[in-house]
A and B are shown apart, each in its own frame.
Chain A
Amino acid sequence: MENRPLGYDYTVAKMFMLTTIVLGIVGMLIGVILAFELAFPSINTILGSGLAEYTNFSRLRPLHTDAVIFGFTISGVFATWYYVGQRVLKVNMAESPLLMFLGKLQFWLYVVTVAAVVVSLLAGVTTSKEYAEFEWPIDLAIVVVWVLFGVNMFGLIGMRREKSLYISVWYYIATFLGIAMLYLFNNMEVPTMLATSAAGETGIGSWYHSVSMYAGTNDALVQWWYGHNAVAFGFTVPIVAMIYYFLPKESGQAIYSYKLSLLSFWGLMFVYLWAGGHHLLFSTVPDWMQTMGSIFSIVLILPSWGSAINMLLTMKGEWQQVAASPLIKFMVLGSTFYMFSTLEGPIQAIKSVNAIAHFTDWIVGHVHDGVLGWVGFMIMAALYHMAPRVFKREIYSKSLMASQFWIQTLGVVLYFTSMWIAGITQGMMWRAHDEFGNLAYSFIDTVTVLHPYYAIRGVGGLLYLIGFLMFAYNIYKTMTAGKPLEKEPANASPMGA
């Protein structure tokens, strides 16, 4: 009989659980502030005109997107990897002191990088590339964090006792490789210090500020290849990894069809990378590329629904668990929102629909039913499942979790319905014209009409934030005051009243 350790080591997982929650609160709070700034513009200068630089929409917007993408979501990916990875590979991370050291190093370097991002973006230091606003020194630090993540991942895989890799591990590997490739190519940039002006002057730029190596249409293409695939490899692939582990484990049900999970994996990998062109419909990008983006977006329904249906069918015969457990509710609704937004996205990518939808709030609604309903719900469910196992305590309160679920669900519904109405109204008003082709409305007319929907969106976002604070409180109380567990629960997570 070989020597096996007594359990798994969750030190690094716990560290990233902390950043998931803290950065989630920061990112969502800024999001709510932004929503109310759009509805009530005076909030842009709420701290006075002297500080308006730091409180206006355009300064805060990248902080919101980057905090929820690279803060909340990526921390959630790290936290769940350091939990799921060990378990399905049946290896304790502490068996390798080197991996433990590198995991902690990754965490602390990540924290330093996050601090640099917050300070630089608040100060207005930005490359102005959407979702890639960080200047080159921060980009390099992010690359180091990511490489450490990869070394840990493949280090753990190298030490495994289970020869086959569970489907979630495939998805985590795809996350690592996908983001590495996207991040490197989209952030190719040149410090302006190295530039020469038309008059031949040198040394006129700054050492930290940079410009993209791509220009014009090429820049747009690379940007949206990156932007859309950040959705693929940040908001889809690792979240699918999570649900393939946490839903079967929490419910005690085997995946409905493991073969379907393999098929969906390869389908997603082949198709997703080609769909980014749908962000550039009716732009200067070659027409065939736009058509290709549309077609691949439609085909993308198949692998997305393959995973989502597989998850819903996993609950076959066990639907009473959905009624009984708020934790299962989060995952089943998450999976449903995944189906819903992966149908909505392809619809928006159809050229004739996009002619109305492009640049409108419908797009914002689409992103948020995906991230709030799918990504947010799944990461919170994962952390709820992990909490009793890493803290060895019962989840503090089931009723608090159930209330949170309904408050947040209401928040998501208010968010996306208001944005649908706002978006389609906006799209129709922009196009309306009289019989001579004169536009029927000016821009400010749309702003007036949209005001109530912007206010509703703010309320929806606020409800979601309140739910997230309830989640943070519940996890905090689990950690400090939950009833201690003698034995690790096999499936359903034990919860206090």
Chain B
Amino acid sequence: MNIADLQAYGYFAITVFMTVSLYAYIYHLYKNKKDADGHDYEEYSNMALHDDIGDTPVNPISKDDKK
């Protein structure tokens, strides 16, 4: 097998890998609906809508995070 064949197989493998990753990511987002912190992704739109300095953060930094 010469370098051109290797490139072609590599190209094909990477294309398949990236396509699968992309669709897996879409599936993951729409199946789980929530991120690791338990927040529905759609809640994060409120970061723009409720952005006064006194508004409650959607996902506040807790004291534990500051350690």
Contacts and interface: CB of A to CB of B under 8 A. Distances in A.
A8 interface: yes
Given A262-B29, A267-B22, A163 B57 contact: yes
Contact of A88 (B22, B37, B47): B47
Interface band, chain A: 20 to 34
A162 B48 contact: no
Contacts of B62: 163
A463 B64 CA distance: 56
Interface in B21-67: 22, 25-26, 29-30, 37, 39, 41-49, 51-55, 57-62, 65
A162 B47 contact: yes
B49 A248 contact: yes
Contacts of A167: 44
Interface in A156-186: 160-164, 166-168
Given A259-B41, A262-B41, A164 B59 contact: yes
A401 interface: no
Contact of B53 (A8, A255, A263): A8
A263 B26 contact: yes
A6 B65 CA distance: 24
21 contacts: A6-B53, A88-B48, A162-B47, A162-B61, A163-B60, A163-B62, A164-B39, A164-B59, A168-B48, A245-B48, A248-B45, A248-B48, A248-B49, A249-B49, A249-B51, A258-B42, A258-B43, A258-B45, A259-B30, A262-B29, A263-B26
Contacts of A162: 47, 57-61
A48 interface: no
B18 interface: yes
Contact of A244 (B29, B48, B60): B48
Contacts of A283: none
B30 to A, nearest CB: 7
Contacts of A137: none
Interface of A: 4-8, 87-88, 90, 92, 160-164, 166-168, 244-245, 248-249, 252, 254-255, 257-259, 262-263, 266-267, 270, 488
A296 to B, nearest CB: 12
A4 B26 CA distance: 38
Contacts of B25: 263, 266
Contacts of B18: 270
Which of B25, B37, B62, B65: most chain A CB closer than 10 A? B25
A6 B53 CA distance: 7
A161 B60 contact: yes
Contacts of B52: 488
A6 B52 CA distance: 9
A255 B30 CA distance: 16
A262 to B, nearest CB: 7
B61 A161 contact: yes
A259 B27 CA distance: 11
Interface residues of B, number: 29
B22 to A, nearest CB: 7
A252 to B, nearest CB: 7
B53 A259 contact: no
Contact of A87 (B22, B37, B51, B61): B51
A91 to B, nearest CB: 8
Contacts of B22: 266-267
Given A162-B60, A248-B49, A252-B49, 17 more contacts: A87-B48, A88-B47, A90-B51, A90-B53, A160-B61, A161-B57, A162-B59, A162-B61, A163-B60, A163-B62, A248-B48, A249-B48, A254-B42, A254-B45, A257-B42, A258-B43, A259-B30
Contacts of A262: 29, 41
B59 A258 contact: no
B16 to A, nearest CB: 15
A255 B62 CA distance: 26
A90 B57 contact: yes
Q: What are the nearest 4 A-B pairs in CB distance?
A: A254-B45, A87-B51, A162-B57, A166-B47
Nearest to A255: B45
B49 A263 contact: no
B44 to A, nearest CB: 5
Given A259-B29, A263-B25, A263-B29, A164 B53 contact: no
